[in-house]
Amino acid sequence: MLYLQILLNGLLLGGLYALIAVGFSLVWGVLNVINILHGTFIVLGSYIAYFAHLYFGIHPFASVIISGSVLFCLGYVIQAGIINRVIAAPVLMTLTLTFGLDLLLNNAMLIAFTADYRKLILTDSLGSYDLWGLILPLNRVAGVGLAALLTFGLYRLLRDSNIGRAIVAVRMDREAATLMGVRVNRINAVTFALGALMAGAAGSIFSIIYPISPINSGLFLGKAFVICILGGLGSVPGAMIGGIALGVIESYGALFFGPEHSTTLAFVILIALLIFRPTGIMGRKGYE
Amino acid sequence: MKKRALFTLAVSTLFVGLQAVGGSSSVQAAEKTIKFGAPLPLTGALAPEGIKIQRGLNLWMDTANAKGGIKVGNERYKIKIIYQDYQSNTPRAVQTAEKLITDDKVNFLFSPFGSGATKAASGVSEKYGIPTIASTASSEAVYNQGYKYLFGTFTPNITLTQPLTNMVIAKRPETKTVAILARNDFFPLAIANVMKKSAAKRNLKMVFFEKYAIGTMDHSSALVQMKAAKPDWIFATGYLNDLILIRNQMSELGVKVPVLTMVAGPAYKEFIDGTGKLAENITSAAWWHPAVRYNGKGVMGKTENFNKLFKAKYNLVPDYAEASATAAGIIFQLAIETAGTLDHKKVRDALATMDTETFFGPIKFGANGQISSLKPPVFQIRGGKPLVVYPDVIKQIDLKFGIK
């Protein structure tokens, strides 16, 4: 039962990890922009959920719509107004730019909200369910369910809608997409905005699980990097598989090697992947 | 040509004159100001703690300056604290401490946050012979380096765990097993190790002892293993972020235990706000609590007065980190006034022989510079407030058991 409980914990953690990475992976894969702002976007989403709950009593699952919309707009403005100007430059340039923007946004949040940890406490918490000795933390289960729904929505959007197909086209061949009449700058902005939307939504869901502070942004960003490399860049299933793999590996790593080394096993596998399969588990050639 | 020479002479005379005036006024200002350096983690992961120390130091500075500053012999000096942010990065704390001494020419120094950074930076103040007070370092390893210029306001960690262990066993004799989960960081690990010693001393069986890495985002595996070990007592160490997450995950995974102790976090209001009802019955120990009562010397006077001034300035109830920072300032002030000089060696000697009482408690340092006179209180969160259960003279409630 212990092993089964740890598997369940790992899957739930992995579901949350997948949501951290999916937007980050999309932006990196399509735009070739390593978005250092991603962790701060997640924290901003958490603050929106926190204040929406505090002042208007809105449940964080419902405020996913608000935080997602706010972050979508913010992401669109940042890409269209700033990053698009240097999008053709080498990746180091855009990395430095998002790093600088992250410093600005993160410090603005430190000034506005302080570094003190806040925690959203649900008055109507779902509690836990004992399923033949297997404990299901229901808030977490619901959060992961919503995360899966959002990720599936993004997956369908990319596959079924015109804008989604345009995003995939830009990812596959930027020049060819331009020649086919795709407005690449607009697609860039929409892609970045979708990445930010997913980060904002993740922030809302995380607000019921993690304490909120601007200083947590680095933690989320670090996980996003690892998941992208594990799962493969630019694809929604890649981020899902990478996230779940990391969650399960960390959970069993904590059991077998102690919590201190929970990430050791994950990093050993990561190094092995980088050597033998640099595209990641689900990645395609050209995105390593 | 002659006119031009006269003009040049006049301008240069004016310039030299202005420089002399400026120089003498800055000399005058320097004569009346004592500069204290404070390298603090004002941004980064330890920013909440760094800001607490800043609050405590500012309260001392403002209160003392309003009363005329520090009396040195027959003169009065204003206090000026120079803050430098080391961004929660320990190697940078060392550089920052050195910069404060060499560039800002501070007279005295406060240590960075926590035992780890304090130990790292203590070599710098020792090298330059600058008396330094650490307001948040408790590990004995910090003080057992043979340094002469480092003093600290926290007693050794064992003074927190031993009274707690004695009390738990006295009130609940059926307590037989302990599980410890510690953040792999200087202080949280040190306190976990002394808890292990305190437990062994009282024949408690250790059924789980594990460390978790800094930045851990999930404790479920450790908690599930702890639950399987069925301990009577869970002792978890870390900082606010970790402990809020651990407590919430304990509840999610149905980990119930008669005694739950967490260090260091429950003394902070943010912990109680962040855990809500789940904070109930958590025990902790800290070096100070607003309920202690001392007839203090120095600008703060009695503990009640310190609480009142702190509340008036920040609209907050002070916690031990904030109180310790204010106390560190007062201790410096008392030592300088006793020495009657700013001479580093003499102030250091005044600190070493100090035997007095402040709002924080009795102040007397051991031979290694660590305070030896404090009796840290044990408290328990009840009804959303940390209330004292030990020592008996300031006890507010009896210890209660059961964590759901």
Secondary structure string (H, E, C) spanning chain B:
CHHHHHHHHHHHHHHHHHHHHHHHHHHHHHHCEEEEEEEECCCCCCHHHHHHHHHHHHHHHHHHHHCCCEEECCEEEEEEEEEEECCCCHHHHHHHHHHHHHCCCCCEEECCCHHHHHHHHHHHHHHHCCCEEECCCCCHHHHCCCCCCEEECCCCCHHHHHHHHHHHHHHCCCCCEEEEEEECCHHHHHHHHHHHHHHHHCCCEEEEEEEECCCCCCCHHHHHHHHHHCCCEEEEECCHHHHHHHHHHHHHCCCCECEEEEECCCCCHHHHHHHHHHHCCCEEECCCCCCCCCCCCCCCCCHHHHHHHHHHHHCCCCCHHHHHHHHHHHHHHHHHHHHCCCCHHHHHHHHHCCEEEECCEEEEECCCCEECCCCCCEEEEECCEEEEEECHHHCCCCCCCCEC
B53, B223, B224, best to mutate vs chain A, most A CBs in 10 Å: B224
- Tell whether A211 lies on the interface with B, counting CB pairs under 8 A: yes
Task: Provide, as residue numbers in chain B, all residues whose Cβ is less than 8 Å from the Cβ of A223.
Answer: 217
Residue B221 to residue A254, Cβ atoms within 8 A? yes
CA A196 to chain centre: 9
| Ranges A276-285, B136-145, B390-399: which has the least confidence | A276-285
Q: Is A10 exposed, middle or buried (0-12, 13-18, 19+ CB in 10 A)?
A: buried
Identify the three-state secondary structure at position A177: helix
Identity of the highest mean pLDDT range in A19-33, A104-118, B12-26, B72-86: B72-86
* Per-residue pLDDT reduced to its tens digit, B358-391: 999 999 999 999 999 988 999 999 999 889 998 8
Nearest CA among B35, B29, B125 for reference residue B81: B35
Residue among B44, B87, B42 at smallest CA distance from A213? B44
* Spatial distance between the Cα atoms of B298 and B361, rounded to a whole number of angstroms: 12
The pLDDT > 70 percentage for chain B reads: 92
Mean pLDDT, range B300-306, rounded to an integer: 94
pLDDT for the residue A108: 93
3-state secondary structure A245-281: HHHHHHHHHHHHHCHHHHHHHHHHHHHHHHHHCCCCC
By the 10 Å C-beta count (0-12 exposed, 13-18 middle, 19+ buried), B355 is classed as exposed
Confidence of residue B397 (pLDDT cuts 50, 70, 90): very high
- Considering only CA atoms, which of A26, A74, A11, A69 is closest in space to residue A187? A26
Contact (Cβ atoms closer than 8 angstroms) between residue A84 and residue A184: no
pLDDT on residue A279: 78
Element (H, E) at A131: strand A128-131
CA distance B190 to B196: 10
> Residue B79 has what pLDDT?
97
With an 8 Å Cβ cutoff, are B220 and A118 in contact?
Answer: no
Between positions 249 and 268 of A, the ones with CB within 8 A of B are 250-252, 254-255, 258-263
Taking the CB of residue A160, how many other CB atoms lie within 10 A of it? Answer: 9
- Read off the pTM: 0.82
pLDDT exceeding 90 applies to what percent of chain B?
74
Nearest to A13 among B218, B222, B254 (CB): B218
CA atoms within a 13 Å half-sphere pointing along the CA-CB vector of A22 = 29
**Rounded distance between C-alpha atoms, residue B260 and residue B253, angstroms:** 15
Q: What is the pLDDT of residue B147?
A: 96
pLDDT of residue A288: 40
pLDDT by position in tens, chain A (length 288): 889 999 999 999 999 999 999 999 999 888 889 999 999 999 999 999 999 999 999 999 999 999 999 999 999 999 999 999 998 888 899 999 999 999 999 999 988 998 888 999 888 778 888 888 899 999 999 999 999 999 999 999 988 999 999 998 888 888 898 898 889 999 999 999 999 999 999 999 999 999 999 989 999 999 998 898 888 877 788 889 999 999 999 999 999 998 988 878 878 888 888 888 877 777 665 444
3-state secondary structure of A134: strand
User: Is the ipTM beyond the 0.85 threshold?
Assistant: yes
Rg (CA), chain B: 24
pLDDT for residue A229: 86
Range with top average pLDDT, A232-236, B20-24, B238-242, B257-261: B257-261
pLDDT grade for B230, boundaries at 50, 70 and 90: very high
Across residues B13-38, what is the average pLDDT?
Answer: 58
The answer to whether B113 and B53 have CB atoms below 8 angstroms apart is yes
Provide φ and ψ at A278, rounded to 5°: -65, -10
Closest CB to A258: pick one of B211, B217, B249: B211
Q: What is the pLDDT of residue B185?
A: 86
In the prediction, which pLDDT does B45 show?
77
Q: Which residues of B touch A260 (CB under 8 A)?
A: 184, 210-213
Number of Cβ pairs closer than 8 Å across A and B?
A: 112
Q: First vs last Cα of chain B: how many Å apart?
A: 95
pLDDT-derived band of residue B4, with 50, 70 and 90 as boundaries? low
Task: Tell me if chain B has a CB within 8 Å of the CB of A32.
Answer: no
Which helix (DSSP H) or strand (DSSP E) does residue A64 occupy?
A: helix A64-81
Q: Which residue of A has its CA nearest to B229?
A: A2
DSSP code for A89: S
Give the nearest chain B residue to A219 (CA atoms).
B215
Mean pLDDT of B104-133: 95
For an interface test with B, give the residue of A1, A4, A9 to mutate (most B CBs within 10 A). A9
DSSP three-state, residue A42: helix
Optimal mutation site among B234, B247, B248, B250, interface A, most CBs of chain A within 10 A: B248
Give the contacts of B115 (CB within 8 A, at least 6 positions apart).
Answer: B136, B137, B138, B139, B141, B142, B186, B187, B190
Length of chain B: 404
* pLDDT for res B21: 42
